[in-house]
């Protein structure tokens, strides 16, 4: 089992990180991708502890669309911040999470687009996959990936929240699709439709912990061990054994992130 996207270095885990890691291991998790905010020094210190407690963990580093406003007027400098975050940590296997969020619009859209595009270009240069966060910004996300990635960049759409049609577009672009606990939420029929059509070799599972706890833990702090509920839900709606889904997700994780 794997968790392809969690924020284990978040301050929410500071009090009991060792127990959280123990529970993940007991749940059968071998690997996890811990997503870091490039340039966040406090989180970087906590990430050192994550790496000590769970040496198999690998990292992604990037500037989230919510943070893009820091680079308004000087979007090119995002490249220096992300490059430094990658250089400082040997376990970085991806740039992310990066993308566009037009639901919250925390940063102006034009700035989000520039900051995202620069990071996609950097991913191409560094030959690293990207972890994409996109919300209500499907067309612009694809346009920037095509233009800045020039067909050379691969990655994953994390916490996939589109329908089957969007999943097909993601697959056509050569990307992976990662499902989180949202797939267990009652009103997620479109997302479940997408989860039925993604081939096993492009399917990833994640918690996005500490966010997005799946049913039956909804509303609580989420943690990597709970990825088993995502696998259960996917197995049920795809009509496949849980072991098949879990093995597929592990193989896809290894193919994409080379942990
Ligand atoms: Zn996200
Ligand atoms: Zn996340």
Residues 93-149: tens digit of each pLDDT: 999 999 999 999 999 999 999 999 999 999 999 999 999 999 999 999 999 999 998
Residue 219 has what pLDDT?
Answer: 85
Calculated CA dihedral for residues 133, 139, 145, 148, nearest 10 degrees: -120
Q: Could you tell me the distance, in angstroms and rounded to a whole number, from the CA of residue 28 to the centre of ligand 1?
A: 24
Residue 211 has what pLDDT?
Answer: 94
**Whether residue 151 has pLDDT greater than 90:** no
**Whether residue 213 has pLDDT greater than 90:** no
Mean pLDDT for the stretch of residues 144-167: 96
Q: Could you tell me the distance, in angstroms and rounded to a whole number, from the CA of residue 204 to the centre of ligand 2?
A: 14
Q: Calculate the average pLDDT of the chain.
A: 96
Q: Could you tell me the distance, in angstroms and rounded to a whole number, from the CA of residue 95 to the centre of ligand 2?
A: 12
In the chain, what percentage of residues exceed pLDDT 70?
100
Tens of pLDDT, residues 22-38 = 999 999 999 999 999 99
The vertex-158 CA angle with 133 and 250, nearest 5°, equals 155
Q: Please tell me the distance from the alpha carbon of residue 150 to that of residue 165, in angstroms, as a whole number.
A: 22
Cβ-contact 207, 29 below 8 angstroms = no
Q: Could you tell me the distance, in angstroms and rounded to a whole number, from the CA of residue 242 to the centre of ligand 2?
A: 24
Q: Could you tell me the distance, in angstroms and rounded to a whole number, from the CA of residue 211 to the centre of ligand 1?
A: 9
Would the CA dihedral through 69, 71, 128, 33 be positive or negative? negative
Number of other CB atoms surrounding residue 258 within 10 Å = 10
Number of other CB atoms surrounding residue 192 within 10 Å = 20
Q: At 124, give phi and psi (nearest 5°).
A: -65, -45
In 127-226, which ranges are continuous DSSP H helix?
138-149, 164-172, 189-197
Q: How confident is the model at residue 216 (pLDDT cuts 50, 70, 90)?
A: confident
User: pTM for the full model?
Assistant: 0.97
Could you tell me which CATH number the domain at 2-257 has? 3.20.20.140
Q: Could you tell me the distance, in angstroms and rounded to a whole number, from the CA of residue 36 to the centre of ligand 2?
A: 9
Closest CA to 213 of 203, 200, 222, 204: 222
Q: Could you tell me the distance, in angstroms and rounded to a whole number, from the CA of residue 159 to the centre of ligand 2?
A: 8
**Whether residue 241 has pLDDT greater than 90:** yes
**Whether residue 227 has pLDDT greater than 90:** yes
Cβ-contact 5, 207 below 8 angstroms = yes
Tens of pLDDT, residues 37-61 = 999 999 999 999 999 999 999 999 9
Q: Could you tell me the distance, in angstroms and rounded to a whole number, from the CA of residue 7 to the centre of ligand 2?
A: 6
Mean pLDDT for the stretch of residues 147-176: 96
Q: Could you tell me the distance, in angstroms and rounded to a whole number, from the CA of residue 207 to the centre of ligand 2?
A: 9
**Whether residue 4 has pLDDT greater than 90:** yes
Cβ-contact 158, 129 below 8 angstroms = no
**Whether residue 65 has pLDDT greater than 90:** yes
- Closest ligand (CA of 210): 2
Cβ-contact 93, 126 below 8 angstroms = no
């Amino acid at each position: 089992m794997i968790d392809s996207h969690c924020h284990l270095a978040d301050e929410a885990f500071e009090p009991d990180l060792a127990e959280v890691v123990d529970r993940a291991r007991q749940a059968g998790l071998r690997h996890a991708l811990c997503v870091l905010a490039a340039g966040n020094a406090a989180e970087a210190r906590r990430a050192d502890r994550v790496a000590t407690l769970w040496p198999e963990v690998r990292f992604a580093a990037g500037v989230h669309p919510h943070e893009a406003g820091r680079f308004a007027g000087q979007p090119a400098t995002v490249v220096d911040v992300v490059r430094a975050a990658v250089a400082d940590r040997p376990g970085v296997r991806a740039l992310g999470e990066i993308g566009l969020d037009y639901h919250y619009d925390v940063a102006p859209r034009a700035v989000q687009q520039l900051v995202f595009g620069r990071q996609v270009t950097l991913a191409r240069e560094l030959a690293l996959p990207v972890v994409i966060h996109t919300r209500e910004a499907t067309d612009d996300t694809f346009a920037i990936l095509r233009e800045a990635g020039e067909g050379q960049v691969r990655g994953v759409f994390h916490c996939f929240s589109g329908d089957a049609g969007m999943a097909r577009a993601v697959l056509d672009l050569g990307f992976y699709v990662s499902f989180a606990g949202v797939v267990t939420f009652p009103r997620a029929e479109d997302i479940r439709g997408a989860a039925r059509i993604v081939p096993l070799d492009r399917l990833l599972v994640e918690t996005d912990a500490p966010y997005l706890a799946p049913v039956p833990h909804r509303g609580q702090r989420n943690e990597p061990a709970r990825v088993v509920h995502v696998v259960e839900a996917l197995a049920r709606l795809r009509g496949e054994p849980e072991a098949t889904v879990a093995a597929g997700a592990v193989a896809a994780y290894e193919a994409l992130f080379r942990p």
